Amino acid sequence: MSLRDQLVAKGLASSKDAQKARRDLKKQRKDDQGSKKRKGELRREQEAAAREEQEARRTERLEARKEREAIRDRHEHALRVRNLILGNRLKNRGDHPFHFVARDGRTILRMMLHRRVAEEIARGSVAIAWLDHGNRDEYVLISRSGAEKLAEIGADGVVVHRATGEPDVSELPVKRDWEPALGPHRVR
């Protein structure tokens, strides 16, 4: 027999009070049970939010790592191209003008070359490559093997390179068959 039943039996509490106490206890148990369910749902929601946040941070770190690797790869590629060009650079001294189209495709540039070097460019045993110095471009002569290595690694640093043994007639040195005149060019 419970304490409540004993109190009702001795007349210290009425049956209405006992029923009310029973209802209150039942309601409290039911509320506690419901709050347990709510607590479980809240805990699951918090865990899910924490997992999502963790996944978002992991994705962000992966993207940052990929970006750093891409920057490093571009830097290494530029350094490899620069080292290849400088390692295969040929010296040149001459007084023969050699014209070629710059890397932008619109500007025609002139280099003063030795006649034999100009013929080697036309034959394809020598190529012209450009070095990017950031604020300016420098055009240098490189060997054919260097130009082929640049082509293998996918560099766009070679400006003039003939793969065939046939020289391009437009780039052969021009022999002057006239005397340059120092007089005025207009005829009156």
Residue 181 located in a structural domain: no
Both tokens assigned to 138:
């420098």
List, for residues 66-96, the tens digit of each pLDDT value: 999 999 998 998 888 888 888 888 887 778 7
The CB density around residue 115, as the number of other CB atoms within 10 Å, is 13
Mean per-residue pLDDT, 39-53: 89
List, for residues 136-165, the tens digit of each pLDDT value: 778 888 888 888 888 888 777 676 655 444
Same domain, 78 and 100: no
Residue 127 located in a structural domain: yes
Report how many domains make up the chain: 2
Q: How far is CA 125 from the centre of its chain?
A: 34
**Which residue, of 87, 105, 122, is where some domain finishes?**
87
* Burial readout 79-109 (b: 16 or more C-beta within 10 A, e: otherwise): eebeebbeebeeeeeeeeebebeebeeeeee
Cα dist from 128 to 36, 99, 118, 152, 179, whole Å: 79, 11, 11, 16, 30
Both tokens assigned to 70:
């891409």
pLDDT at 64: 96
pLDDT at 163: 44
| Full-model pTM | 0.53
Q: How far is CA 151 from the centre of its chain?
A: 21
Same domain, 105 and 78: no
Rounded CA-CA distance 168/127 in Å is 13
Q: Which of 9-13, 29-33, 49-53, 107-111 has the highest mean pLDDT?
A: 49-53
Which residue range forms the structural domain that includes residue 156?
Answer: 89-171
pLDDT at 34: 65
